[in-house]
Every structure is written in structure tokens, then in C-alpha cells.
Amino acid sequence: MNDKLRLIPSVELITQTDQFIEIFKNHPRALVLSILNVEIEQLRNRMLKGEFHDKTVEIIPLADSVKKELLICEKPSLNRVLNGTGVILHTNLGRAILAKNALAAMGMISAGYSNLEYDISNGMRGSRYDHCSLLLKELTGAQSALVLNNGASALVMALRSMAFGKEVLVSRGELVEIGGGFRIPEILECSGARLVEVGTTNRTRIEDYRKAAGSGKAGMILKVHRSNFNITGFTEEASLSSLVGLGRELGLPVVHDLGSGLLIDPGSLGLPPEPTPKESLSQGTDIVIFSGDKLLGGPQAGILVGSGEEWITGMRKDPLCRALRVDKMTLAGLEATLSLYRDPNVAMAEVPILRMLSASVGELTERASMLIAALAGASINVEVIDCCSVMGGGTFPGFELPSIGLSVEILGCSPDRLATKLRSLEVPTVGRVEKDLLLIDLRTILQDQDQQLIENLSSLCS
């Protein structure tokens, strides 16, 4: 067996061959050597197991194996994907697609220096927390605003700053679980506040909150919008206005965690009623929390807006705020997105999420017909099919939006196998299998992605 091992040339000799000299021209030397050593170790193991029967170790196959691994290693782990699932705010696929002006702003700010924490007028240090603040106050009617890195961090910040070591009153029907298995009780625990469950799962009255506050240890009333599930049947819940009234009576701040944070009338998009940050603040809520990367259509961010300045000012001074702050690109993208909402019609036209929501079945049918015509020469069966899209991202649970999709079939290939093949392409397409058909929902495919979709579907036949 030792004689077999002697067939393996030294690394020095291998790297001096023409094949590896060529590889080194296009790839980092350290990475090539690392992969080569792994390949040699695998070759040794095969020899020791008696699985290698050749009389020599050929350099060309070894080089080919190294080049194959290099392609895998050098491919970015984060890739663009075509979302054909019909889930508009698909958390696993990155949620909101940014508007063009947001992308431009992020590119411009990241390409050079900026006034992230510099007051240009006075020539002295400024605060990153001032960026987006004016726009948020203008659009929501708030007196103060703060942007952190996501909705959960915004809630933790509010709980820590406003109710550390105190009890927080939350209805049992609002103890939601958000993505990744994180739950409101766990978020409360890590903030240093103590959860007090109020009422029952399906019925919570204002008197339940009053009774729970009787210990004298309460520091906050928290209302959590049930954005990712519905409770139906024999139900009752205390209104936000009644909670605000109770909060003022007892001297307790009221925080409303909205989740999605839609800034325009949901009825204009054909959506069910949904509270907006402006409406919540108008009822006297002390702090409203919402996300930047859901129905707002911006980058990932957790936004806090206040009816006064006291609480937000305190949060800015909290050391945790620094750990949860956002960077210059997020602020640039969010500010550019928010600016579109100064004119709701502009927002509807420019924010991709809103365009998806407002696309009519007629528009989608027209696109489907064009795609099928373009695929006429391919050996693939593609047909127009009625389907339904959903919001996703923990918003509008149970709501379905009529849509149009493409059903894709190839003789002898199961829908699951087709789905796997589409995901394995250079630009993966993620669809859904429904009623034993592979379905591509066009509502979540951008119009400027149609050509890529055509190429991907055509490649299934090759």
C-alpha cells in the first residue's frame, strides 16, 4: 500500500505543471493550495482503502477537480433569485425589493464619504439618528423617531428603555411567535422587563388590564398587532383607544407594535383594514413600532415613532442603542423610500412591493400570454393558470390576492423534479407545487425579470 502512496507527486511538483500554473493565474494561490491538499488527502484515503487501481496519478483530472471546487468556493453565498412562489413578502427570499431611487441612494452613499455623523452646517459631530427622522415625523405625525436594525430590536429597545425591571401588560391573545421561532415572551425576557399575561387567548377586556396593573409594579401596556394569524369566533379585545385611556389614568406608557407599518390606505391596494402608524399615534399611543422591510418596501429596519420626545430621547442615550443602530446604506435606502410616500401615487408606481400588490389580473394575463408565445419553440408545456398570491412576512394572515401563474410540465418529469431543476440554475427560480403542477406565480416575478424567466424555462429542455 505504501508503494501506491508513492505515486502521488509532491505538492511542489504538482503546482509546477502547466495545468496548475494556469489555475494560479486566475485564482488566489492560498485557496488553490488549500483545495489541492484536500484533493490529495482524498486520493490517499482511496489508496489506503484499495479503491485506487490506476498505475499513475494523472495531473489533468486532479486539476479538473480543483477547478470544479474553485467554482463552488468562489461563488457568492448570497445570490439573486426569481420568486415565483406568489409570496410577496417572502422572508426566506429577502422580503421587500427596493425601489430604484433607494438603490441609487445606497450606491451613492456607499461609494464615498458622507455626513453620517457630521453636522455640515456647524462643522462638528452630528448624530446618525437624525437621518430619516424628519421624514418619519412628516409622514406619521410623530414628534420623534428612531431607526434601528429590525422590528425585534426596536421592541427590545422600547421595553428596556421604558420598562426595565418592571411589568409589561400584554394580552394572552397577542403573545405571538415571529419568524425563526422567536416569541414575544422571550423578547420581553431578554429586555429586562417582566411579562404579565392579561385576559385569555380569545377574550381580553380593558378591566383585565386594570386588574393586572393592580400590583403597582407595571411599567408599560404593550399592544401587539396580530399580523401573522387570526383569532375568530367567540372573541373580544380591548381597543387601542381604551388602552391609551387606561394608560393615562394609571400613568403607564402605551406601546403599539404594528409589525408591517403600511403608510398608505390599505383599501387603495385592495387590502383588508390595517392600522397605520399615523392612525395609531392619533389615538394617543406613546410609541408605535413598525418594520422598514415589509409593506413599507424599504431596507431592513425597525422604526420607532413617538407622540412626544421624552421616550425616544431616552432610547438614543441608552448604550444598547449603539449595538442596535443601522449603517449608512440602510439610512440612505430608507430615506429614499420614505421620500416616495410624500405622494402616494408616486409610491404606488415606484415601490416594487406596492406595484406587485396593485397589478391587475388583466396585466398579469397579458404578461403570461407574452411569455407563452416566447416559449412556443421550447419542448415544454406551459399554460396560463388562475392562482392566488399571499402577503407573507407576517402580514395580512389568511388574505389571498387573485393572480395569474404559469403551469410548467415536461413529459416524464415530476413537478418536484422540475422545481429542483429550476432551483439549480445559475439564477434560481423558486416556484410552488400545487395540485400536482409546478406553478410560477407572475405577481412576484418583476416584469424586467421576464426575459430571465424565459431563459430559465427554456433551459429545462436542454
Specify the pLDDT at position 87. Answer: 95
Between the alpha carbon of residue 356 and those of residues 89, 273, 297, 351, 438, the distances in Å are 10, 18, 11, 9, 21
| pLDDT above 70 as % of the chain | 96
The more confidently predicted of residues 53 and 31 is 31
Specify the pLDDT at position 200. Answer: 80
Q: How many whole angstroms separate alpha carbon 444 and alpha carbon 390?
A: 10
Between the alpha carbon of residue 114 and those of residues 110, 132, 332, the distances in Å are 8, 15, 10
pLDDT in tens, 397-441: 788 999 999 999 988 889 999 999 999 999 999 999 988 899 999
Q: How many whole angstroms separate alpha carbon 356 and alpha carbon 404?
A: 12
pLDDT in tens, 25-43: 999 999 999 999 999 999 9
Over residues 65-84, the mean pLDDT reads 93
Model pTM? Answer: 0.88
Q: Is 31 exposed, middle or buried (0-12, 13-18, 19+ CB in 10 A)?
A: middle
CB atoms within 10 A of CB 249: 10
The more confidently predicted of residues 91 and 179 is 91
pLDDT in tens, 336-388: 999 999 999 999 999 999 999 999 999 999 999 999 999 987 788 999 999 99
Specify the pLDDT at position 230. Answer: 58
In this structure, which topology does domain 82-91+355-459 adopt according to CATH? Aspartate Aminotransferase, domain 1 (3.90.1150)
Specify the pLDDT at position 227. Answer: 56
Domain 100-346, CATH: 3.40.640.10
- Residue whose C-alpha cell is 431563459: 455
Whether residue 179 is predicted with pLDDT greater than 70 in this model: the reply is no
Specify the pLDDT at position 188. Answer: 79
Over residues 105-132, the mean pLDDT reads 95
Specify the pLDDT at position 321. Answer: 95
pLDDT in tens, 222-277: 998 865 555 555 567 889 999 999 999 999 999 999 988 889 999 888 888 888 99
Specify the pLDDT at position 169. Answer: 95
Residue 156's DSSP bridge partners are none
Instruction: Name the CA radius of gyration of the chain, rounded.
Output: 28
Whether residue 322 is predicted with pLDDT greater than 90 in this model: the reply is yes
- Where in the chain is CATH 3.90.1150.180? 82-91+355-459
Specify the pLDDT at position 234. Answer: 58
CB hemisphere CA count around 351 (13 angstroms): 35
Specify the pLDDT at position 2. Answer: 60
Q: Please name the amino acid found at residue 114.
A: S
Q: How many whole angstroms separate alpha carbon 327 and alpha carbon 332?
A: 9
Instruction: Show Cβ contacts of residue 436 under 8 Å, excluding neighbours closer than 6 positions.
Output: 415
Of the ranges 167-181, 188-202, 212-226, which one carries the lowest mean pLDDT score? 167-181
Give helix 310-317 / helix 151-163 axis angle, nearest 10°.
100
Over residues 176-192, the mean pLDDT reads 74
CA angle 149, 153, 99 (to 5 degrees): 30
Over residues 298-322, the mean pLDDT reads 96
Specify the pLDDT at position 232. Answer: 56
Of the ranges 10-19, 197-206, 231-240, which one carries the lowest mean pLDDT score? 231-240
Q: How many whole angstroms separate alpha carbon 462 and alpha carbon 450?
A: 19
Q: How many whole angstroms separate alpha carbon 162 and alpha carbon 313?
A: 11
Q: How many whole angstroms separate alpha carbon 385 and alpha carbon 435?
A: 12
Specify the pLDDT at position 11. Answer: 93
Residue 382's DSSP bridge partners are 408
pLDDT band at 4 (very low <50, low <70, confident <90, very high): confident
229 contacts 243 by C-beta, under 8 angstroms:
no
Over residues 295-305, the mean pLDDT reads 96
The pairing of beta strand 395-409 with beta strand 194-198 = unpaired
Over residues 153-170, the mean pLDDT reads 94
* Average pLDDT over the chain, rounded to an integer: 91
Over residues 120-131, the mean pLDDT reads 94
Integer distance in angstroms from the first to the last C-alpha of the chain?
44
Whether residue 278 is predicted with pLDDT greater than 70 in this model: the reply is yes
Specify the pLDDT at position 204. Answer: 85
Over residues 303-318, the mean pLDDT reads 96
Specify the pLDDT at position 462. Answer: 65
pLDDT band at 307 (very low <50, low <70, confident <90, very high): very high
- Where in the chain is CATH 3.40.640.10? 100-346
Comparing CA positions, the residue from 163, 434, 173, 162 lying closest to residue 312 is: 162
Q: How many whole angstroms separate alpha carbon 211 and alpha carbon 142?
A: 31
